[in-house]
Amino acid sequence: MTTDQSTATATTASTTASTTSSTTAPTAAPTTASRPIAERHLFGPGPCNPYPEATLALAAPLLGHLDPVFLAVMDETCDLLRYVWGTANRRTLPLSATGSAGMETAFVNTVRPGDVVVVAVNGLFGERMVDVAGRHGAEVVRVDHEWGSPVDAERVLDAHPSPAIIAAVHAETSTGVRSDIAALGAGKGDALLLVDAVTSIGGIELRADDWGIDVGYAGTQKCLGVAPGLAPFTISERAFARRVEKPSSWYLDLGLLGGYVGEAEGKGQRTYHHTAPTAMVASLHAGLRRIADEGLEHVWARHAEAGRLLQEGLQELGLTLFAQEGARLPELTTVNVPEGVDSAAVRRYLLERHDVEIGAGAGEFASTVWRIGLMGHNARRDRVALVLAALEDALAHA
């Protein structure tokens, strides 16, 4: 703030502020930076550019959260979520918060103090699960893996003879790695299988019921091609029957949330819990409708092709990939930053020159790895060509 500005603010404040108050409320409108509206190509680890249908839905006239038209949209959204999760679970709903709240919901509703929770850790989000489970009183048995490698199901299943919960990340966004959830489901025994599908849902094969997933959470901003803000969630009858009756979180209590989407008493029977974010739900509905119209398996194939072309193209540029071969996600590619190249400078150049956003690496790989996402609407051949051309140009200027 310049001296002139501070004088002006003080003078205005002194004429309007209450004499009984020692704090000074701002009386002039705060100044904000003006920003050019450029369309960014969001090729990082999420959010991605949404499906156009999802963006358009945000501009539709807003509905009240108890409007019958909105309730029908919510019902259809839950049906469409069952489709992308591959589940018949009655309790499948969009939580009104981001993916991390999905993680919190999963643990707060299932963990009792002292419960043994085996967590497969092969990246940042497995690490976060350890933290969250521990906060809810779990006795966490962590099974560590080298970052860049998939979860070793055998080691995880052998880690404890009778855990209450086995938890793993399907698509580890920090490393670009896919793990075999079906193998964990096949060997889980009496344990509940709790899965993070934030970066897998709508992008790669996910079959919650066939794979034995009991509790799953996801996010809207990745392969579902919708803005961030909701956490698609599903819980099996088996897991719901074992839930904590009165979890320490009111907002994330699944017992109360069942009524919110009408799944406790059947469709159409709603109890007020919180105000549904109607615009976001309408946007998710439109994104899911788009996926259903295209066909989920076709959408998976589109992601697979875009990822394969990107990974081939990067290697043709002379770059090497970080994630273990055979476990690479198509929707999120991790690339080693070449020796001597300033990783942050390249990302800045891409953003300023090409309006292309790519991600830095995570954790100890922050400056040695880039993360390139082709998710949802961005999982297309023309986007592959765009990001490769931009990166080639950036490397030539590095």
Ligand X SMILES: Cc1ncc(COP(=O)(O)O)c(C=O)c1O
Query: CB under 6 A: which stretch of 53-61, 182-190, 193-201, 250-258 binds ligand X?
Result: 193-201
Per rule CB under 6 A, is residue 125 in the interface with ligand X?
Answer: yes
Query: Quick one: 49 or 63, whose CB is closer to ligand X?
Result: 49
Per rule CB under 6 A, is residue 24 in the interface with ligand X?
Answer: no
Range 168-200 burial, b when 16+ CB lie within 10 A, else e: bbbbbbbbbbbbbbebbbebbeebbbbbbbbbb
Query: Quick one: 313 or 330, whose CB is closer to ligand X?
Result: 330
Q: Which listed residue (12, 24, 55, 98) binds ligand X by CB under 6 A?
A: 98
* CB 100, min distance to ligand X, A: 3
CA distance 203 to 171: 10
Q: Which amino acid is it at 147?
A: W
Q: Which listed residue (100, 149, 336, 368) binds ligand X by CB under 6 A?
A: 100
* Inter-residue contact 70 to 276 (CB < 8 Å): yes
Q: Which listed residue (44, 50, 99, 216) binds ligand X by CB under 6 A?
A: 99
CA distance 267 to 78: 11
* Inter-residue contact 235 to 367 (CB < 8 Å): no
- Closest CB to ligand X: residue number: 99
CA distance 285 to 57: 9
* CB 42, min distance to ligand X, A: 13
Per rule CB under 6 A, is residue 43 in the interface with ligand X?
Answer: no
Per rule CB under 6 A, is residue 199 in the interface with ligand X?
Answer: yes
* Inter-residue contact 92 to 102 (CB < 8 Å): no
Q: Beta strand pairing status for 165-169 and 192-196?
A: parallel
Per rule CB under 6 A, is residue 196 in the interface with ligand X?
Answer: yes
Q: 183: Cβ–Cβ under 8 A, 6 or more apart, which residues?
A: 153
Candidates 218, 154, 151; CA nearest to 186 is 154
Per rule CB under 6 A, is residue 120 in the interface with ligand X?
Answer: no
Query: CB under 6 A: which stretch of 73-81, 99-107, 149-157, 303-311 binds ligand X?
Result: 99-107
Beta bridge partners of 216: 195, 234
Per rule CB under 6 A, is residue 46 in the interface with ligand X?
Answer: yes
Per rule CB under 6 A, is residue 130 in the interface with ligand X?
Answer: no
CA of residue 228 relative to chain centroid, distance: 8
Give the contact letters, 135-174, x = binds to ligand X (CB under 6 A), - = no.
----------------------------------x---x-
* Inter-residue contact 158 to 184 (CB < 8 Å): no
Per rule CB under 6 A, is residue 228 in the interface with ligand X?
Answer: yes
* CB 249, min distance to ligand X, A: 15
Candidates 138, 140, 145; CA nearest to 169 is 145
Residues of the shown chain interacting with ligand X in the complex, contacts defined by CB under 6 A:
45-46, 98-100, 103, 125, 169, 173, 196, 198-199, 219, 228
